[in-house]
Structure 1
Amino acid sequence: MSGTISVCCTACGRRHRYTAPSYPCACGAPVAPELDPRASATAVTHRTWDEEWIGVRCAACGTESRWPRPELGCPCGTVLCVPVDPAAAGRAGRTPGSRVPAHRTVPVRTARDAVTAAVLYLRGLGHRDVRRADQPPLSGIGLAAPGLVVQVDPTVGPASVRDVECLWLTAMAESALGLYFSLAGYTEDARARADLLDLPLFVLDPTGVSRPVNAPAVALDATAG
């Protein structure tokens, strides 16, 4: 198996050199999925949450975590699913071991990156079993963990009062804590309403760092480690 392989586009036949991205393990060591140079790439025609994540085990400490499945975009417009070692592509359930420190981040370039950055931060808070929410929000991407309802907003516009109130109502209905992550920040009215509702607000910067922007978020951020 290899960390860099040649990938052939299924649509146009163009070949690309692809290197697997590395992610930070809780122990601090970089981990990367094992690519399979003997298998062929496949075109991504539709997406499901379970298929977009694979389990990757750290060679240094043995901890297994969930990370995005490797993908490659061809100039012809085709998105390719890069083949990985089947032994390393299984689902990772609840991962034992230490929490991931909150300062572990991934750069945010796409909506998928924003979700990864939010999941990584939630692990730093001790929430290991993060999954796609059963009830998607009106905007953005919904995540859930025991006792937690999360909204990740990867759009270019600031979150509105309505966005904040909808998340708060959803969290109240599930007797859970609501958290909001936004790439573009929040309107002044949204921040004021979140303060009244005691709803933590975070902004994801391009480096993937989750920055608290109101008092509830600052208090929650202090528990990460």
Structure 2
Amino acid sequence: MSESVSVRCPACRREHLYAAPAYPCECGAPVVPPLDPAGTATAVTHRAWDDEWISVRCTACGREGEWPRPELGCTCGTLLRVPVARASAEDEEAEPPKAPAPRRAFQPITIRTARDAVTAAAVYLRWLGYRDIRRADQRPTSGIGIAAHGLLAQVDPTVRPASLRDVECLWLTAMTESAACVYFSLSGYAPDARARADTLGVPLFVLDLTGTPQPVNTLADELDSTGAC
């Protein structure tokens, strides 16, 4: 369990006790962003990928991954960005310990917001073995694009099924970057989108509210079974 810190809202001055959530590393150990008890919380006024994600090293295996920056909603309506401690120079230079390679059981992230959907997809891709997960350079036609080494993924948290155009645009963008692609949707896919994905070689997943990607086509089944090549 992570240590709780006191967080003061800069808008209403209320104090809250906050503990950072733990995320599952590929090795199976929990990863918790290190909080700075001496830092000052700031109000979130706009969204930017670089501000929302931080690099955290797993203390068990040494892998470094991108995870959501801790946030807390105050009762006054202000969304607070909780301060995170910086790693010391010794921690940054230390050689990470070795860890076993086999994949552990997937540990999903419950989906309550669009941000959670992106986190769930990123956690799943990391579990499959993809590295360097980040925001995609090009914005997709709908949803949010994330990328990993050799892969482009689209996460669609909207309430409408993904369309034929959505799937084709993802595939075309991936082709220009010489990358494979995969689609995650909360609301499924239109019939023609599913048919087109099969011909283009695009794995399709539906994210259920537990955060577990459910394969929709055979390509997704194969990816889930084999992981990143």
**Normalised TM-score (structure 2):** 0.87
Q: Among residues 97, 105, 110, which one is paired with 2:108 in the alignment?
A: 105
2-structure distance, mates of 1:17, 1:65: 26
Q: In structure 2, the residue corresponding to 1:87 is in which secondary structure? A: coil
What is the match of residue 209 of structure 2?
Answer: 206
Matches within 5 A, 1:171-182: 171-182=174-185
Which stretches of structure 1, 4 residues or more, deviate above 6 A after TM superposition?
none
CA root-mean-square deviation: 2.3
What is the match of residue 225 of structure 2?
Answer: 222
Q: Which consecutive unaligned segments of at least 5 residues does structure 1 have?
A: none
Confirm whether residue 160 of structure 1 aligns to residue 160 of structure 2.
no
Q: Among residues 186, 189, 193, which one is paired with 2:192 in the alignment?
A: 189
Residue 11 of structure 1: CA displacement? Answer: 0.9
Q: 1:101 to 1:119 in 2, by over 3 A?
A: farther
Residue 99 of structure 1: CA displacement? Answer: 7.2
The percent identity for this pair of structures is 65
Residue 7 of structure 1: CA displacement? Answer: 1.1
Q: In structure 2, the residue corresponding to 1:37 is in which secondary structure? A: coil
- The one-letter amino acid paired with 2:220 is A
Q: Is the 8 A contact 2:23 2:31 kept in 1?
A: yes
Q: Is the 8 A contact 1:178 1:199 kept in 2?
A: yes
Q: In structure 2, the residue corresponding to 1:65 is in which secondary structure? A: strand
Q: Is the 8 A contact 1:119 1:130 kept in 2?
A: yes
Aligned length: 220
Q: 1:145 to 1:117 in 2, by over 3 A?
A: same
Q: Among residues 114, 117, 130, which one is paired with 1:114 in the alignment?
A: 117
**Normalised TM-score (structure 1):** 0.88
What is the match of residue 3 of structure 1?
Answer: 3
Q: In structure 2, the residue corresponding to 1:167 is in which secondary structure? A: helix
